[in-house]
């Protein structure tokens, strides 16, 4: 905001940027440029040690304001509105020294980059002592990079990439200089490591293969190149580190150095700056492929997913999506035994040649370089999916509690479709807020339906026939609220906390439910079916006992439970009276 004498003010043609006239401002920063023809112009101010500036604070020709001069007009600076405001900012400077393995190095290129955008703001070449100076830099955040042929590109203060490089804040007129204490702008570009070799395919030099060098510990790509007509490659600008080398080419399986097939198994190779590592063995094998067509009830099935599965482990090796005609091709496969599966929304999964399970699926043996193709005679790779069958319906919840009887659609009920013979689960779903359900992806056969929910008695229906795309008439299922038993455990007529109350089937003695009484002896056992039961209480240090004074299961009172009804202890008449006696000691 202070007057700057000696600045050069230049008038430029707005469209072409051609200089029309210029003048040097006086000691007070004043200037006047006469003899201008009418037309559109831009105005720029420059001075050594300052950043070029265009009128009204613009910094580039593209953003500069355009003024249209009229014959006989004098365009004068003004503040309201702002016209011809020229304020040049002092340049910022970055200076330091480039090293290579701690020795000064000449001829390195040092580049200052905008820390946010990566745009190049300025550059310089280091001199015989490795020194450099880059001026005419704007204020802002910057990063500093050093590069040179035969060396690894590095960023100041040991940054290995633009993303990880240290950012520096430049102020107008500031000179950011390298220092050692604190360390700042330390720039050491190490000699490159080089890897050199040949890629083979089935033992023959392979042209146009992509060779990629990966950092062994992170799999980060450090560099890549293509092999020439003789299969040869050379890749430099690599750091001193441990790497793995991969070769790829369409129609061939990827391979790692020394005959390894995967990154995990790939041999690590140590690279050293200034040295060339030669001839890591890379010999690729031709890929196997599978191609065919997916059908659905004998018609082409668009966009089905086809998976190639390892025949021994069941691991998916590769997948592909069929096109609009159901046709697919899966390449990049290694030799070995596989099984083929197809899936599609609304269709049951199927395996090649009409198998319905992995265990029953046909095993195909792939050969390197072979494409296994679907055929009809003999039948091979035949994939014909069956549409899913489904059952829809609703679940009604019933309560027999006389205090709150109701029968309403019930949400949150798990509806499970079971094989009627084996009880194997074929599918399941949960009812929505309206009690409705749909169990899909079922085979076209009869299934047993089971409805279950915590606190409710499980119920069954069917067998019910499942049909493709849904049962024509919804199935109605009923489920009843479970019975509950609650009361209090006593010991010598006092509340006995911590006692275990167990509800047993009155016929079989099977445990149907249990709980531990609270500190007041109170208990509640829920989720019980409508069966005859006996109730027992136990606690360490006390004789076990059954409800209403019985001492054994055989003599215990039988209670009949009803769904949705709570069997409540009472004194008149006496029901569920549990009073234990203490064990004597000595």
Q: What is the average pLDDT value for the chain, to the nearest integer?
A: 92
Extended strands (E) in 354-413:
364-366, 371-373, 375-376, 379-380, 383-385, 389-399, 406-409
Let me know: does 481 contact 564? Beta carbons within 8 Å: yes
Task: Provide, rounded to the nearest whole percent, the portion of the chain with pLDDT above 90.
Answer: 73
d(CA 525, CA 514): 6
d(CA 576, CA 518): 17
In the numeric block, the tokens 């007529």 are attached to 493
Tokens of 214: 């990966």
Tokens of 557: 């009172």
Alpha-carbon distance values, 202 to 38, 249, 265 (Å): 76, 13, 20
d(CA 308, CA 317): 6
Let me know: does 553 contact 534? Beta carbons within 8 Å: yes
Spell out the per-residue pLDDT of the chain, length 586, in tens. 678 889 899 999 999 999 999 999 998 989 999 999 999 999 999 898 888 989 888 888 999 999 999 998 888 888 878 788 888 889 999 999 999 989 999 999 999 999 999 999 999 999 999 999 999 998 899 999 999 999 999 999 988 899 999 999 999 889 999 999 899 999 999 999 999 999 999 999 999 999 999 999 999 999 999 999 999 999 999 999 999 999 999 999 999 988 888 888 888 999 999 999 997 889 999 999 999 999 999 999 999 999 999 999 999 999 999 999 999 999 999 999 999 999 999 999 999 999 989 999 999 999 999 999 999 888 899 999 999 999 999 999 887 666 666 678 999 999 999 999 999 999 999 999 999 999 999 988 999 999 999 888 888 998 999 988 666 678 999 888 888 999 999 998 999 999 999 999 999 999 999 999 999 999 999 888 889 999 999 999 999 999 988 889 999 999 998 877 888 998 888 889 999 999 876 5
The strand pair at 179-180 and 175-177 is best described as unpaired
Let me know: does 547 contact 577? Beta carbons within 8 Å: yes
Tokens of 120: 């190049």
Tokens of 207: 């042209």
d(CA 439, CA 451): 12
- Position 564 scores a pLDDT of 77
Let me know: does 204 contact 225? Beta carbons within 8 Å: no
Query: 305 Cβ partners below 8 Å, 6+ apart?
Result: 319, 320, 321, 322, 342, 343, 344
Q: Which of 500, 567, 508 is nearest to 537 (CA)?
A: 500
- 401-428 pLDDT per residue, tens: 666 666 789 999 999 999 999 999 999 9
- Position 403 scores a pLDDT of 65
Q: Which of 246, 272, 270 is nearest to 259 (CA)?
A: 246
In the numeric block, the tokens 């109170």 are attached to 522
The strand pair at 414-418 and 436-442 is best described as unpaired
- 178-190 pLDDT per residue, tens: 999 899 999 999 9
Let me know: does 187 contact 168? Beta carbons within 8 Å: no
Quick one: CA torsion of 252, 255, 260, 266, rounded to 10 degrees?
Answer: -160
- Position 336 scores a pLDDT of 95
Alpha-carbon distance values, 473 to 2, 279, 413, 468, 470 (Å): 89, 72, 20, 13, 9
At 149 the three-state DSSP class reads coil
- Position 571 scores a pLDDT of 85
Let me know: does 535 contact 508? Beta carbons within 8 Å: no
Tokens of 264: 């995990």
DSSP state of 541: T
Task: Tell me the whole-structure pTM to 2 decimals.
Answer: 0.59
Cis peptide before 240 (omega within 30 of 0): no
Strand partners, 408: 397
Extended strands (E) in 207-363:
210-215, 221-226, 232-238, 242-248, 255-256, 269-270, 276-278, 282-284, 288-296, 299-300, 305-310, 316-321, 327-333, 336-344, 347-351
């Amino acid at each position: 905001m202070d007057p700057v004498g000696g600045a050069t003010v230049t008038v430029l043609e707005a469209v072409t940027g051609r200089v029309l006239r210029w003048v040097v401002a006086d000691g007070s920063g004043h200037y006047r440029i006469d003899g201008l023809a009418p037309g559109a112009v831009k105005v720029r101010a420059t001075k050594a040690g300052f950043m070029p500036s265009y009128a009204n604070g613009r910094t580039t020709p593209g953003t500069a304001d355009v003024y249209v001069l009229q014959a006989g007009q004098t365009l004068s600076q003004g503040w309201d509105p702002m016209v011809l405001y020229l304020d040049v900012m002092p340049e910022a400077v970055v200076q330091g020294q480039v090293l290579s393995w701690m020795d000064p190095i000449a001829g390195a290129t040092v580049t200052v980059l905008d820390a946010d955008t990566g745009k190049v703001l300025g550059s310089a070449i280091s001199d015989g002592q490795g020194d450099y100076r880059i001026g005419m830099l704007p204020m802002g955040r910057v990063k500093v990079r050093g590069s040179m042929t035969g060396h690894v590109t590095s960023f100041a203060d040991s940054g290995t990439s633009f993303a990880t490089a240290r950012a520096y804040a430049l102020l107008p007129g500031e000179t950011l200089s390298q220092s050692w204490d604190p360390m700042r702008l330390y720039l050491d570009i190490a000699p490159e490591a080089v890897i050199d070799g040949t890629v083979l395919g089935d033992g023959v030099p392979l042209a146009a293969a992509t060779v990629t060098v990966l950092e062994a510990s992170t799999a980060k790509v450090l560099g890549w190149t293509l092999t020439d007509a003789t299969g040869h490659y050379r890749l430099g600008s690599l750091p001193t580190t441990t790497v793995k080398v991969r070769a790829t080419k369409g129609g061939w399986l990827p391979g790692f150095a020394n005959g390894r097939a995967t990154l995990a198994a790939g041999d690590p190779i140590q690279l050293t700056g200034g040295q060339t590592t030669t001839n890591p063995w890379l010999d690729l094998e031709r890929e196997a492929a599978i191609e065919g067509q997916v059908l659905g009830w004998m018609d082409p099935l668009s966009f089905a997913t086809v998976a190639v599965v390892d025949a021994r482990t069941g691991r998916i090796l590769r997948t592909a999506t069929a096109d609009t005609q159901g046709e697919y091709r899966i390449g990049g496969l290694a030799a070995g035994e596989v099984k083929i599966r197809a899936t599609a929304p609304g269709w049951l999964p199927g395996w090649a040649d009409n198998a319905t399970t992995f265990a029953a699926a046909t095993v195909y043996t792939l050969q390197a370089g072979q494409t296994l193709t679907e055929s009809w005679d003999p039948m091979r790779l035949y994939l014909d999916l069956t549409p899913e069958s489904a059952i829809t319906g609703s679940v009604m919840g019933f309560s027999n509690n006389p205090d709150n009887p109701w029968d309403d659609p019930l949400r949150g009920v798990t509806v499970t479709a079971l094989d009627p013979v084996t009880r194997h689960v074929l599918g399941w779903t949960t009812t929505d807020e309206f009690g409705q359900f749909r169990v899909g992806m079922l085979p076209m056969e009869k299934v047993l339906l089971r409805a279950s929910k915590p606190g409710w008695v499980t119920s069954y229906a069917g067998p019910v026939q499942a049909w493709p795309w849904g049962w024509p008439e919804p199935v109605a299922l009923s489920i009843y609220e479970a019975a509950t038993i609650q009361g209090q455990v006593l010991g010598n007529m006092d509340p006995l906390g911590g006692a275990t109350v167990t509800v047993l089937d009155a016929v079989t003695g099977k445990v149907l439910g249990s709980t531990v009484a609270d500190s007041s002896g109170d208990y509640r056992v829920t989720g019980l079916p409508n069966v005859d039961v006996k109730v027992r209480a136990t606690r360490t240090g006390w004789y076990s006992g059954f409800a209403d004074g019985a001492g054994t299961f055989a003599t215990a009172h039988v209670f009949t439970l009803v769904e949705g009804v709570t069997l409540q202890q009472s004194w008149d008449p006496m029901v569920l009276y549990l009073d234990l006696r203490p064990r004597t000691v000595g």
